[in-house]
Amino acid sequence: MTDSGRQDTDLISVARITKTQGRIGEVAAEILTDFPERFAELDEVYVKLPNGQQQQYTLADSWPHKDRIVLKFEGIDSITSAETLIGGTVLISSEDLIELPEDSFFDFELEGCEVVDRSNRHIGTVREIVRTGGTELLSVMDEGGSEKLIPFAESICVEIDKAAKRIVIEPPEGLLEL
The class of domain 2-96 in CATH terms is mainly beta
What gap in Å lies between CA 37 and CA 9, rounded to an integer?
A: 23
* Confidence grade of residue 112 (pLDDT, cut at 50, 70, 90): very high
CB atoms within 10 A of CB 108: 18
Q: How far, in Å, CA of 121 to CA of 161, rounded?
A: 16
Buried b (16+ CB within 10 A) or exposed e, 127-141: ebbeeeeeebbbbbb
Domain segments of the chain: what residues? 2-96, 105-177
Q: Residue 7 gets which letter from DSSP?
A: E
The CA dihedral of 58, 109, 10, 68, to the nearest 10 degrees, is: -20
Residue 2: pLDDT above 70?
no
pLDDT tens per residue, range 119-130: 999 999 999 999
| DSSP annotation of 74 | T
Compute the distance between CA of residue 31 and CA of residue 119 in angstroms, rounded to an integer: 39
pLDDT in tens, 26-62: 999 999 888 899 899 999 999 999 999 999 999 999 9
The model's pLDDT over 50-95, given as tens digits with 9 standing for 90+, comes to: 999 999 999 999 999 999 999 999 999 999 999 999 999 999 998 8
Superfamily name and number for 105-177: PRC-barrel domain (2.30.30.240)
- Percent of the chain that is helix, strand, coil (3-state, to 5): 10, 45, 40
